């Protein structure tokens, strides 16, 4: 996989764990993901997806004894 590889929206969504279209467009509209347009096609660079994933915070579970 090349970092400069372009992915269409379906490939990008799959690379992000199979997120739905609504969540995908929310991330774009909030500026958390940056896309490019080629003609009418919305594309994301693989490097952009890798950047987004690397910046996600770690999951922190709440232990039952920590719940209010």
Q: Rounded to 5 degrees, what angle do the CA atoms 23, 27, 45 make?
A: 110
- What are the pLDDT digits (tens) for 4-62? 899 999 999 999 999 999 999 999 999 999 999 999 999 999 999 999 999 999 988 77
Q: Does any domain span residue 61?
A: no
> pTM for the whole thing?
0.80
Q: Does any domain span residue 63?
A: no
- According to DSSP, residue 57 is labeled P
For residue 38, the enclosing domain spans 6-56
Q: Does any domain span residue 21?
A: yes
- According to DSSP, residue 39 is labeled T
Number of domains in the chain: 1
Q: Does any domain span residue 67?
A: no
Res 66 pLDDT > 70: no
Q: How far is CA 5 from CA 22, 30, 41, 42, 59, in A?
A: 24, 23, 15, 13, 28
Q: Does any domain span residue 28?
A: yes
């Amino acid at each position: 996989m090349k970092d400069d590889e372009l992915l269409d929206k379906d490939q990008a969504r799959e690379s992000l764990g199979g997120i739905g279209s609504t969540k995908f467009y929310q991330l774009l509209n909030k500026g958390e993901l940056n896309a490019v347009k080629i003609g009418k096609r919305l594309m994301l660079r693989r490097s952009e997806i890798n950047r987004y994933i690397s910046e996600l915070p770690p999951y922190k579970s709440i232990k039952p004894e920590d719940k209010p």
